[in-house]
Amino acid sequence: MTRFLTEARDAGNAVPSALLEGARNRMKQMARSAVTGLDEASVQAAAIYLLTRQGENTSTYVLNLRDHLRQKHHEAWRGHITAAYLAGTYALLQQKKEAVVLMQDYWAAVRKGRALGAWRGWYYLDPQVSQAEGFAVACKHFPELAGNFGYDDLAIITEPLARNRFNTISAATTILALKAYSDLAKQSGVRVSLSELARAGGTPSVLVAETTGLIQSDFSPQAGGLRFGLAQEGGRDLGAFYQVTREILDAQGKAVEKLKVGEGALVRLSVRNVSPDALSNIAVLDLMPGSFELEPNGLKPGRGTIPGADYVDVREDRNVFFCGLRKGEVKTFAYRIKPIAAGSYVIPPVFAESMYDRGIKGRDGGGKVNVE
């Protein structure tokens, strides 16, 4: 209950001060109490986290709980919801390094052992509840980590709903998680729009212009479909594992701003391993700008056709480079392209991602190029 009171207060809703004070006193009792198992520890960690969000000095509580976890549970607790609450508390206390490491350990454990099946135990121990709580904490306090969440991460929260498996508390915590994810999307610069497509054809009718966060709109009985649009002001080097850069250069080696139809340009693509480990089975996905194509013999598919790549896959609208990287290693791939039509074109982002771990990724933000 204190969690929802805190969220309501932070959202600007009127919460009676006496109610909050009573909840705060109860949280202090829980933060001071002795605990045994991890489930009790998670309740205490949640109490400490909520006290910290309400401006209490919780450093002593944190130290006592951390010492207990290390002595009694060794490393097992780092994959438990207890770790997510402690990570959130560390973030609020500006202990960033400890916070990030702990949240990364926790979410890696969730990805590995996510529980989506039916739960027959006590409702408050339902993994669906703890996973949603951990997801919400990650989105609220760790935007760099949560900003890289993909479909598989979100499915941890949404699949139980799709299977019609939820109760009052799991539905409430899932709403908290999705609200935190929506708030994160607003901060990221992602903008979405919604248009109605008439059955009779014609120009789509805009229902919601580009905006951030969740959108909703009515549509007419004549609608034959809906079209969602997505736009983003992307930055560079957004991955925690790879730094990816792409340059399009003219004959003088300068970054291209304008080209003439048929004028060739050099694409130079670099990917750096900034993780603490060697990484293998990497796919670097390079989408070409619209109306651009490879120059003759500009890039050949197959094995050993370009230095550094294990294999190159050349497709109509993209090129994929497969490789591995030692710790700190940089690989650069170069090839030539040319435009075949005039206009202003978006240069799509370039992605680097592990083929077998969707959480290991990096991205370059893209850009624009004009063709005369």
Tens digits of residue pLDDT in 48-106 = 999 999 888 899 999 999 999 999 998 889 999 999 999 999 999 999 899 999 999 99
Domain boundary among 232, 252, 267: 232
Tell me the three state secondary structure of residue 152.
helix
Q: How many beta carbons lie within 10 A of that of residue 302, not counting itself?
A: 11
String of DSSP letters for 225-278: EEEEEEEE---S---SSEEEEEEEE-TTSPBPSEE-TT--EEEEEEEEE-SSS-
pLDDT of residue 203: 72
Could you tell me the pTM of the whole model?
A: 0.55
Do 251 and 119 reside in the same domain of the chain? Answer: no
Q: 319 with 275: CB under 8 angstroms?
A: no
pLDDT of residue 117: 54
Tell me the three state secondary structure of residue 364.
strand
pLDDT of residue 190: 58
Using alpha carbons, select from 285, 306, 287 the residue that is nearest to residue 351: 285
In a domain, 237, yes or no: no
Per-residue CA distances from 120 to 131, 161, 173, 312 (Å): 16, 17, 18, 49
Q: How many Å apart are CA 125 and CA 111, to the nearest integer?
A: 18
Instruction: Give me the half-sphere count of Cα atoms (radius 13 Å) on the Cβ side of residue 77.
Output: 23
Do 158 and 247 reside in the same domain of the chain? Answer: no
Strand 265-273 versus strand 258-259 pairing type = unpaired
- Indicate whether 236 pLDDT > 70: no
Tell me the three state secondary structure of residue 306.
coil
For residue 167, the enclosing domain spans 2-187
Domain boundary among 198, 232, 266: 232
Number of structural domains the chain divides into: 3
pLDDT of residue 249: 86
Average pLDDT, the chain: 84
Q: 266 with 334: CB under 8 angstroms?
A: yes
Q: Radius of gyration (Cα) for the chain, nearest Å?
A: 25
Do 148 and 130 reside in the same domain of the chain? Answer: yes
CATH, residue 318: 2.60.40.740
Tens digits of residue pLDDT in 155-200 = 888 888 777 787 888 888 889 888 888 887 666 555 667 788 877 7
